[in-house]
Structure 1
């Protein structure tokens, strides 16, 4: 139905004369135009995504960061104390302290505020000139001095004592020639010391900085210090490399470590009692990502006995406590239920137990990134933070009276490379189907158009797989205008019948819009020309003025909407009166959308409707809420859907009456071979939803009704199916059968749309019964033999 992503267009009235349903004329009674009434609100589609980061732990509590909140000190009783202002990104461990109740807040360029959360006492320490901040261990600030250029880097200790004095201490045992030091966002230390990495020449080394002794000790191994690969506990140094975990006793970090295998995608979190605590990637929770909640926390015995799950879902890394426990974030189930911070502790027998300490403060994610609204069907592209994917959903909205919103139907996930709601082009056809194509820049999305049925899931079925396309120009009903790329010859637009897969019209011109069977072709930069794509018949050119540089043409019913980019002018063109009406839409340009006789565009945060039916523009604001995100206008119902500031979706009538029910297109076979697997399947595409329809089939020779088919609400297309049988299930005889269709508009106003025609049936078989028994003969023979 749309030109571009949402609204398809074409004007059949300027190309052909009277539209017909099948072989008979269409008639409409006098109708009182009436719009759908009442504004409906679809509740906010909000997802919660915990983003807790554990920063340090002391005897009385721990420091954590929560997205959108202040830094929080949480006691082991679960009570929170605000420490500092909210951070915009996850802070780095151990900049905020390690191994004690002292929280350090570094204020660049040279002030560190130490706050003892157990006593409430604070003290600010100014770093000496030439000192760079490294970390805070207990009440000792670690700094770095020297230069990489001179290869004389070393560490210094600023010890803050109980009386408030600051004692400067040099670190003994530091090797000469250090040209670089490295830090990692990992629990590398506690109140007594810290693992550091440094470089001498081109070789990297690992060392231990002992705060208590003021001494540096090079270690006889190079530990992996990436997050999840190293952790310092009160009793051990643990690090993992190449599928092996090295377990060093803090009593002698140079001694030969104990080792155990840890293969696959796994992270080392800590050690509780005599159990190693690890997290393993669980593919059922989402795609592999080291910072996302796709991990399962397990306790692993060093003797290789079976692991035990502690938390079914977790993310990020753990922080050891001074008393031998381990803080981890996560939950007991695979969802977000009961997500928070838990403390893993050892029983007397060394077996880990899990105790919930505090709930998390999940980040609220506005999931609706895009929406379309067509024939009363609301489709949304929504972000799924659980699996970090964009998903397509559809809701059916009532199309008569005050609309009601149906349940949300899942339509599948976009490819993993889809990084935003607009990485997929969505072109609703107006009959429940959607043409989908990838259009993300730099992403490996399939750009070839696919067709989604009304309940089908992504990616859908490929349209015309015989050639490549680079753009969906416009769609309407069963027709889609697809643009081929330049391959040394002129690019073509091929209009494909979505029901048959066949090309019905080919042109080198760009298709600006479609409505029904009419395509509006670009005619230079300042004009368009209509063509009926089924007959090839062209209509009269519409010219918008010299130097227009035409953009974003739409067509609905008898109307065209246009925008001249160079002049910055907006207008509509009435194809019946051949008059142009301009209107002021500000600088929104392509953000206006066309209805049948009116235009909708945002202005000052509200949606504005400009009605042109009288020939003079009449403008008013609609809706009870500002527009705060994606929005769309349904040209088939005159109803608007938009995202509100509270992330709810508002379904808002435009206030413009809906035009009478008319046919846009039809495919009605004149003959049908019955008795097989196929059926007679006529289709009629309409300009708005229907409340009900009835198809009466009669024997043309006798006038006897053989079958009556009926249906309820139809959104854009009435598509009955007849198998050539009567109401009792028997095959009817060969011959010509007349049909009469009656369609009632969903707005309940005015006469039904009616049409009639005939279809010839042949090739059936009937069972002839006589006194001699039964035999199978053709129905036509049966009819003639019985008279």
Structure 2
């Protein structure tokens, strides 16, 4: 129970005594916006594969083995006993573990765990031999080293192999320093070493015959570094890198060869059955093709594939990630089908990774995210304003950095690069490129884009900035933008009207902030002043108790700090003139004001303090690392909520309980006269503090007293801008004369009273009969 705080939430802030910060109730109404799929397909490595299953990485850490027969998934077998334990080597379906003391160089027994059957067997190491870590279902390869560091190879029989120690016949003893088992399967292994004559040697070891046979390198290949080679179940393939001709040798009889032509010059080629599968990771299409060893037309197996290449299983199957696009991607097993041709089966589907979100802004319930996918762009979402409707997951609008890097470049490292104005627009700054400041960065152009399909894009050059070098937008609201700049080596704040395209004759301090047409700025003492930029008149004042270093404004609230270090961080409620001390000292850009709340970034996450009771109630604590404001967290100061991006790139827009500030007009442009002989319409605009669900514009003739609804509409976010053509809604012209206009609007949050605001205008030039309206 919140007690007095709950009462205040219901009645609005009154003369409450501040209470210590406390954990409040969970805020309701959370919305989530999932990321778009990344255009770069996801990848999953195949660590080992056998005839019965495949070893893959788990979703977080560790590996798991997946059965082909029944799809069961189990953690990879490990070496869980003995003085030394841990997976030593995984080949096919089997994990091998050698047990020895941690610091010992003496070989120990080898335990082999078959993950398909669960069977374990342990082999004692023969005297004088060492395990190589290469094994088949029946044998384990070991080495014997002589005094000259040359190796003799041995095949040690497993449980079901009657030959317990077979010496491999080889053309020479192999130098231990150059011996390397490149790949192996159930039938043998490809081994490389440097011969006694100093030549790079590639040799095939046949487990059944215990014979090691050197293979001639392809013509023109000077060494092993220029050769692509692969071990298939029926064939061995060799080619000179960069050549389209591949030589394949039969493993049954190495004298039997074939010459196969492929379109693949680089990348991997892999014999699968009696076909040669080719994967060119460097080609534009990344297609995977297969061609028969004995000749014939090639086949396309996959339209696109992963650049990370193929993995070969111990039964001769090939494994490769591919598909059509990132949303239709999988790890495939390629093995001979019923007709002998390569056929695909899905090992595991690979859903797309999320696009990387790099920026975040929220204004009037309009969420704008910047992303890398891998191209950089902005995406806009209009969030539901009331009720329990979920947020739409498809963006309403987007723009690409490659198309317009002035306004569509999400720069998370510079949160003030692209800023929403709260009326459906975003702004950024670029330089004119000419001026008198001695740099190509002289002069300021404000780039303005409407964030809707088909929205306009304007560039507004600002006269009077030729000697300035602008930096970042510091505050924006509606038609007014304030930015920092350097002029004559001195920093200053510049205020501009982007609709009129002019710099205002105002010199804001570094603490100033905008709220509609009101510029809030500090004085020489603890008093701050709200000045109406339309008239230059100070309309509001507040005594904050210290000369603020920083100011923010939202609805009926101000936020401020009393020093550069964040001391005295407080909120001020303007109607009640209540100062609310906050229970933290924020770092720069670590606290942002919303309507009746403050979001504060800490070392461990984000805190949301609800101020609507008259005390700082910590209503929500988000325990995840967050970075700079505008990069992965933000607030909607126009009557909205805070938002953050989680580790999975999903945006969360969280609710804040209690009563918000009333709907208000924060700026307006309603001409006092209209002459329809020269104007097609009375164009007026009202900027609002938060979104509305519906609105209506009425004009009342002051002579007759007759009121007429001339325009109406539904949802509006930030601005209502009707153009009245002098007619009623039936299409008939009204009379000339003096009128009172009245705008009424319903707030979308349903919390506060209906807005009603009025003004006067004189209507002339109505193109109809000149008849005075009847007097009341």
What TM-score do the two structures reach when normalised by structure 1? 0.68
Q: 1:394 aligns to what?
A: 381
**Secondary structure in 2 matching 1:621:** strand
1:319 to 300, 303, 311: 311
User: What is the Cα deviation at residue 701 of structure 1?
Assistant: 6.8
Counterparts in 2 of 1:173 and 1:204: CA distance versus 1, 3 Å: closer
Shift of residue 38 of structure 1? 7.7
Q: Matched residues in 2 for 1:232 and 1:527: separation? A: 81
Aligned partner of 1:562 in structure 2 is: 561
Query: For residues 287 and 271 of structure 2, what CA distance do their matches in structure 1 show?
Result: 16
What RMSD in Å do the two structures reach over aligned CA positions? 5.7
Quick one: distance in 2 between partners of 1:695 and 1:199?
A: 94
Deviation per residue, 1:514-557 (Å, 9 max, x gap)? 212234568899998765555556797978769x9x46755553
* Kept in 1: contact 2:606–2:623 (CA 8 A): yes
Aligned to 1:377: 366
Q: Distance in 2 between matches of 1:611 and 1:116?
A: 63
Alignment of 1:619 onto 2:623: no
> In structure 1, what is the Cα distance between the partners aligned to 2:580 and 2:419?
27
Identify the match of residue 404 of structure 1 among 363, 384, 389.
389
- 1:72-121, Cα deviation, whole Å (9 max, x unpaired): 3344424446363799xxxxxx99455x5544468998787543446623
Alignment length (residue pairs): 692
Indicate the residue corresponding to 1:16 in structure 2. Answer: none
Show the counterpart of 1:210: 205
Q: 1:267 to 1:644 in 2, by over 3 A?
A: closer
- Other-structure match for 1:277: 277
Q: How many angstroms does 1:756 deviate by? A: 1.9
How far apart are the structure 1 equivalents of 2:758 and 2:616?
Answer: 36
Aligned to 1:713: 715
Aligned to 1:599: 598
Q: How does 1:66-85 map to 2 (within 5 A)?
A: 66-68=58-60, 70-80=62-72, 82=74, 84=76
Question: So what's the TM-score if we normalise by structure 2?
Answer: 0.69
Q: Which one of 335, 338, 342 corresponds to residue 352 of structure 1?
A: 342
The Cα shift of 1:431 comes to 2.0
Say if 2:299 is the partner of 1:308: yes
Native 8 Å contact 1:68 1:363 kept in 2: no
The alpha carbon displacement at 1:169 in A equals 7.3
Shift of 1:207: 3.0
Q: Where does residue 664 of structure 1 map in the other structure?
A: 666
Question: What's the offset of the Cα at 1:758?
Answer: 1.5
User: Bigger shift: 427-436 or 604-613?
Assistant: 604-613
Residue in 2 aligned with 1:636?
638
1:39 paired residue among 8, 28, 32:
28
Secondary structure of 1:54's match? coil
Q: Which residue of 1 aligns with 2:237?
A: 237
Equivalent residues of 1:97, 1:137 under 8 A apart? no
Helix, strand or coil for the counterpart of 1:661?
coil
Output the CA distance in 1 between the equivalents of 2:762 and 2:751.
30
Once the two structures are TM-superposed, the CA of residue 685 in structure 1 deviates from its matched residue by 0.9
Paired residue secondary structure (1:756)? strand
> What is aligned with 1:742?
744
Matching residue of 1:64? 56
Structure 1 residues 534-588: Cα deviation after superposition (integer angstroms, max 9, x where no partner): 5556797978769x9x467555535233264546442234567877542212667
Q: Is the 8 A contact 1:513 1:554 kept in 2?
A: yes
**More relative contact order in 1 or in 2 (CA 8 Å, sep 6+)?**
1
Q: Where does structure 2 lack aligned partners over 5 or more consecutive residues?
A: 1-9, 14-25, 80-86, 431-443, 627-631
Partner deviation per Cα, 1:8-30 (whole Å, 9 max, x = no partner):
xxxxxxxxxxxxxxxxxxxxxxx
Q: In structure 2, do the counterparts of structure 1 residues 248 and 38 end up closer, same or farther at CA, with 3 Å as the change threshold?
A: same
Q: What's the counterpart of residue 28 of structure 1?
A: none
- Assess if the C-alpha contact under 8 Å between 2:96 and 2:133 holds in 1: no
For the 8 Å contact 2:322–2:330, the answer to whether it is kept is yes
Q: Deviations over 1:758-782 (max 9, x none)?
A: 15555x8xxxxxxxxxxxxxx37x6
How far off its partner does 1:396 sit? 1.8
**5 Å matches for 1:448-597?**
451-456=448-453, 464=461, 469-484=470-485, 486=486, 489-504=489-504, 507=507, 509-510=509-510, 512-520=512-520, 532-534=532-534, 550=549, 553=552, 556-562=555-561, 564-566=563-565, 568-573=567-572, 580-585=579-584, 590-597=589-596
Show the counterpart of 2:756.
Answer: 753
**Superposition deviation, residue 397 in structure 1:** 1.8
Where does residue 217 of structure 2 map in the other structure?
Answer: 219
Q: Quick one: distance in 1 between partners of 2:644 and 2:171?
A: 66
